[in-house]
Every structure is written in structure tokens, then in C-alpha cells.
Amino acid sequence: MKGVVWQGAGRIGVETVPDPELLLPTDALIRVTSTAICGSDLHLMDGVIPSMERGDLLGHEFMGEVIEVGRDVKKLRVGQRVVVPFNIACGLCDPCRRGLFSACDNSNPNHRMAEALYGAVSGGGLFGYSHLYGGYAGGQAQYVRVPFADVGPFVVPDGVKDEQVLFLTDIFPTGYQAAENCGITPGRDVVAVFGAGPVGQFAARSAMMLGAARVIVIDRLPERLEMAARGGADTLNYELEDVLIGLQERTGGRGPDHVIDAVGLEAHGHGPGALADTVKQRARLTFDRITALRWAIQSCAKGGTVSMPGVYGGLVDKMPMGAAFAKGLVFRMGQTHTHRYLDPLMKRIEAGDIDPSFVITHRARLDDAPRLYQTFRDKQDHCIKVVLDPWA
């Protein structure tokens, strides 16, 4: 089959690799009909996530048709059309039973690698996202092996198009969880979203669905801000105006009641803090540049929430903890417990509350993946979200 392969930092290729097979009786095989490139795939491309190996198959946003199930699979059946959460969960451990699917105790075979890096017990496995997260082959391919077939895959109705449900795999639930974590008081709270990438777009629209009185989206790319504005958000371009003053003005001096950092470890931004972060990241002294997080903390209203769907991988410094403490902020973060949101968000889509395909700017063949990784990373051609067809 064809698949998108990591060939080293900065090098993405499409290669012919052996078809996947069932490895365990609880596995299923999926014929992938649509797959997407995620902002977090760019962290892999850039080589800032450790433990990638040449030849690793990428991709954690995919859906398709079940073509084979192992003998211990009880619910999922051949022929069903499914979306598959990007995180792998066993469904039986204590975190899974509490709904904390991304913190699964059992799904990461390389738990010890994460323990060595973080000095703590690891989270669960992820598709196509380094050996630190289990070394599972990704779904930017024609076929993919899905472990715990009765836990992850979610059957979608035939009537809806791939494009409407594909983002249930990651970015829609991720944006939604970020908004939900804010604990928005409907009709009252103002929410600021840093980063108008795909997750930021879904966070903004989710905050509106949850009743935010006003949503302000901050970015530097006009096309991304326009997309947010089309969804009903107020916008702020940090290259044209001072972020902190701009947010003060837009909130009567209070600051946003909640802030969402939808940027994570590769924040742009300027000033000595950002430069220092970049230098240190290049020198492997720190993993994470945190300009967006600093702005989020500094701008947030007293007693507000800093919600962090953006990915962080290591240590951060120059974090304004004094401001966070003085204002009594609450921090919520972590990988998305995707499994929780599949059913409720599917209902939102069916009810017409949202059509997630609004975020797609590029549709292409799998063979075009290397070029589109570049386009997406360099933010050329107004690229916001790429969907690939493995069979075109």
C-alpha cells in the first residue's frame, strides 16, 4: 500500500510499504477513505518530537471502512464506516473508566520511554506520533491497523460526507474540549482564542456553541482571521496591534474571562522572550516556545481559565507565574479525551449546529502529501487544513 513516511527531520515522503495485518485478536483493519494533515504533524516534520524513526508511518486523523476484525472484536463489524480517535485507549483501565481516555494506562507499549523523559507515568498511545507514544503506524495511508477495535472506532451514518465527520478524530473534539474546559457562563463570558489554526477555529466555534457572549481570535494571518470572523468571532491581528492593549480595549479593561492557547510549543510572536525560546529550542535546551501562553496568562481576567489544547512536549521557562498567581487563574490542559465527544459532537453535526468542513482549504491526493506538508507548514497559499484521498 501507499503511506506517508517520516524520512528524517524535515523530510516527508510517500512510499510503498507492506499492507498492515492484524497483530492482536482485538485489532481491526480499516481501508482509509479520508485522512488529514494536522498541525501537530508539523512538530514531527520539524523534528521537535523525540523518538521518531525513519520509515514511521504518519497520520492520526483518518476514517474509513472496516475490512477485517480480529476474533475477539465483539461490536465492530466488517463493512461499517468509522471515524477513529487519534488517541488509543483500552477502555478498561482506571483512567479509561473515568473517561480520561487520553491518559490510558495500557495502550502505550513504550510507557517506559515516556516515563524516562517526563519522570512520571505516561499517557496512552497515539496513531502515527513517535515511539514515545507507542510507535503505532499512522493512517495517512491506504490501510491502517486499529487496536482496541471495540473502544475507539465510532460508526458514522452513511448519509454524511467524510468531510463532515473526519475532524471528529481530533481537531473538533480538541477545540471543543478546550472550550468546555473554560466552564463558560452562557451569555456572560468573553473567551479569547490564541491561534486561528484548525484547533483554534474549532475552539472559537465551540465557545460560541457553549454560549460565550463574545469570542476574540488572535493570529497574524489575515485568511485565518477571516475564517474566524465568518464564524462570528471578533479578531485581533497581533502584527498590527498590541495584543494586551487590544484585548483590554475589547473587554472593557477586564481582560477575557477565559483564554485558550491553541498554539502550543511552536508559537511565533516576537520580542526577546520569543527569540530566546527559539534559540534554546534549536539548541535542544528547551522544547517549547511559549509566546502565546505568556500572552494568554497576562491577558486573562481575574479568576479566569487558561485552557491549553496546544501541545507542549518538555520544559518551559520565563512563565509568568506571578501574574497567574495574582489573578487566581485556573489551568486546564492535556490531550483530548476524544472518545467522550464522538457521540455528542456527531449529534451537533446531525442537528446542523456546525459543519466541520468549513475549515478545509486544500484537498489532494496522498501522493501530494510531501508538498502539502510544506505548504501547510509555511502557511502558503492560505493553507489552513489539508484533506488527503489515499485512493485518488
Partner 1 sequence: MTGGNRVRAGGVEAPQVRSSLPPNPLNRPAISSGPERAVWGALAAGVGTLAFGRRHGPLARVALLALGGGLVTLAATGRNPLYDALKLRQNDAGEILVREAVTVGRPPHEVYARWRDLSRLPDFMEMLERIEVLHGTRSRWTVRGPAGPLTFEAELTADEPGQRIAWRTVPGPGVQHHGEVTFRPAPGDRGTEVLARYGYAPPGGPAGAAIARILNHEPGQRTRDDLMRLKRIMELGFIPTAKGQTSGRGVRAGKV
Please enumerate in sequence order all residues whose Cβ is within 8 A of that of 242, keeping only pairs 6 or more positions apart, or say none: none
**Cβ 24 to partner 1, closest distance in Å?**
6
Q: In the bound complex, what is the minimum distance in angstroms from residue 282's beta carbon to partner 1?
A: 16
Based on the shown chain and the rule CB under 8 A, indicate whether residue 52 belongs to the binding site for partner 1. yes
Is 130 one of the binding residues for partner 1 (CB under 8 A)? yes
Q: Does 50 bind partner 1 (CB under 8 A)?
A: yes
Per partner kind, with CB cut-offs from 5 to 8 A, the member of partner 1, Zn ion, none near residue 38 is: Zn ion
Q: Which is nearer to Zn ion, 89 or 267 (CB)?
A: 89
Q: Which cell numbers in the block locate residue 96?
A: 479509561
Q: Is 67 in the site for partner 1 (CB under 8 A)?
A: no
Distance, in Å, from the CA atom of 238 to the CA atom of 234, rounded to the nearest integer, reads 13
- Interactions with partner 1, residue window 100-129 (CB under 8 A): 105-113, 115-117, 125
Binding of partner 1 by 262 (CB under 8 A): no
Q: How many whole angstroms separate alpha carbon 361 and alpha carbon 383?
A: 6
> Of 133 and 172, which CB lies nearer to partner 1 in the complex structure?
133
Q: DSSP H helical segments within 218-354, as ranges?
A: 222-230, 243-250, 272-282, 291-299, 321-327, 338-350
Residue 261 CB contacts under 8 Å (≥ 6 apart), including other chains: 194, 195, 292, 293, 296, 306, 307, 308, 309, 310
CB of 391 to partner 1, least distance (A): 18
| Residue whose C-beta lies closest to Zn ion | 38
Residue 352 binds to partner 1 (criterion: CB under 8 A): no
Residue 160 contact, options partner 1, Zn ion, none, Cβ 5-8 Å cut-off depending on partner type = none
Count residues contacting partner 1 (CB under 8 A)?
51
Half-sphere exposure of 376 (CA within 13 A, CB side): 29
* 11, 54, 161, 230: residue in contact with partner 1 (rule CB under 8 A): 54
Of partner 1, Zn ion, none, which one sits near residue 17, judging by CB under 5 to 8 A according to partner kind? partner 1
Question: Using CB distances below 5 to 8 A depending on partner kind, what does residue 170 bind out of partner 1, Zn ion, none?
Answer: Zn ion
Backbone angles phi, psi at 296, to 5 degrees: -60, -45
List, in sequence order, the alpha helices (H) in 146-235: 162-165, 171-180, 198-209, 222-230
- Under DSSP, the state recorded for 18 is P
Question: How far is Cα 36 from Cα 387, in angstroms, rounded to an integer?
Answer: 4
Q: Closest CB to Zn ion among 36 and 216?
A: 36
Amino acid letter for position 59: G
* Interacting residues with partner 1 (CB under 8 A): 1, 3, 5-7, 13, 15, 17-21, 23-26, 50-57, 90, 92-94, 105-113, 115-117, 125, 130-132, 134-137, 145, 147-148
